[in-house]
Amino acid sequence: MKLPLKEIEEVKSIARPRYYNGSTKKRAILILHGFTGHPGDMDYLGNQLNENLDITVSIPRLSGHGTNATDFRSTGAIDWMRSAIDSYLDLKANFDKIIVAGLSMGGLLSLQLAGGFPLEKMILIAPALYSSDRLLPIAHFLKLFNIKMKQNSYENSLKNSETEEERLITEDYYKYHYSKQISELHKLMLSTRKIIPDIKTPSLIIASLEDKVVPLKAAEEISNRLSGPSTLEIFKDSPHVINDGPERELCAEKIIEFIRK
């Protein structure tokens, strides 16, 4: 699906979709980023999978992400799901089998895809079936006022922004909590919880004890409730974005090993 020229111009270069070609048409991997994230968050993992498995990797940009706050605030769960479905269908038109991997909200979208489409395998990284965010339970009420609240972690995130583009994305996506979008994320969590027992796709679930965003019980519940075979890997030293943290090499190795089985 082609984007309007105006939107293409607004997408930051680090947030643009990635596509790495492999040598076979037998299978491809779709990698989905998380809530307020962008394809750049998944780039290391995508590169590792492409180089080690010689497999085509697609990392799309979910609607409303990687542009600006105004764009983000005009989107919701249906838009993010549509981005995931469109990306899956684009790959399925050219490859026999599709593997899906998702970080956080991308994990929820992966589960939704597994509930509606044939997948060879599924990888869930810190899947956001639950959240440690205290605003989540009252987000449906706050969205009536379209409230935005400053995030406590904003200043620290800004300090860690190494480029001007990263700083701009941090200001647009990490300065405030947007109640409507948090409510939309919560809706996606609730709907995903209902379909887990129906999913038979072989799955690898990766979680971390140091994740301050998604509690460990999310990964444990998914692993226990899936109808298909699942493996749960628990890391000790990674923050929420496990695939781009201090244990990212180990994360990539576990995923490569799982895909090769």
Active-site pick, 186, 238, 240, 244: 240
Active-site pick, 211, 223, 230, 244: 211
Q: Residue 2, exposed/middle/buried by CB under 10 A (0-12, 13-18, 19+)?
A: exposed
Active-site pick, 58, 63, 104, 230: 104
Whether the CA torsion 138, 140, 142, 147 is positive or negative: it is positive
**Residue with token string 């190494």:** 162
Dihedral in degrees, nearest 10, Cα atoms 15, 176, 134, 191: -50
Which amino acid appears at position 218 of this protein?
A
Reply yes or no on whether 211 is catalytic: yes
First-last CA distance in the chain: 33
Q: Are 237 and 247 in contact (CB under 8 A)?
A: yes
Known binding residues are 35, 105
Q: How far apart are CA 156 and CA 171, in angstroms?
A: 12
- 240: Cβ contacts below 8 Å, ≥ 6 apart: 104, 126, 208, 211, 212, 213, 214
3-state helix, strand, coil in the chain (%, to 5): 50, 15, 35
Nearest to 56 by CA among 97, 114, 84, 15: 97
Q: 62: which 2 tokens?
A: 């979910």
Reply yes or no on whether 65 is catalytic: no
Q: Residue 190, exposed/middle/buried by CB under 10 A (0-12, 13-18, 19+)?
A: exposed
Known binding residues for substrate are 35, 105
Residues carrying an active site annotation: 104, 211, 240
